Amino acid sequence: MPIYEYTCPFCGSFSVLRAIQDRSLPARCPGCDAKAGRAIGAPNLNLMSMALRAAFSRNEKSCHEPGIAAAIIVDRAAIMAHPPRPA
């Protein structure tokens, strides 16, 4: 999840780690619990490693568009070795 900046009208700016889909919602100020709007700034995505950025990107994408398996591979030998128990 990325970090977003919010500005409290009483306390100033603070950062919140949130999901992308929640970025536009107001955040509660940690100092006074007032609702704070989002402050527009540069994203901090370039501070992450390539592997971490790819993992976050895959996670956010799967949140909106779950992947579809192209094929289901069945290991018949494993099923025969450990057959399911009757209920």
- Distance CA(34)–CA(71), nearest Å, equals 50
Please say which residue, 14 or 56, places its beta carbon nearer to Zn ion. Answer: 14
Q: Which of 4, 6, 8, 16 binds Zn ion (CB under 5 A)?
A: 8
**Among the listed residues 3, 86, 80, 83, the one whose alpha carbon sits nearest the alpha carbon of residue 38:** 3
- Distance CA(31)–CA(82), nearest Å, equals 57
User: Helix, strand, coil: what percent of the chain each, to 5?
Assistant: 30, 20, 45
Q: Of residues 16-75, which lie at the interface with Zn ion (CB under 5 A)?
A: 29, 31-32, 34
Please say which residue, 33 or 75, places its beta carbon nearer to Zn ion. Answer: 33
Q: Which of 1, 3, 11, 54 binds Zn ion (CB under 5 A)?
A: 11
Site for Zn ion, rule CB under 5 A: 8, 10-11, 29, 31-32, 34
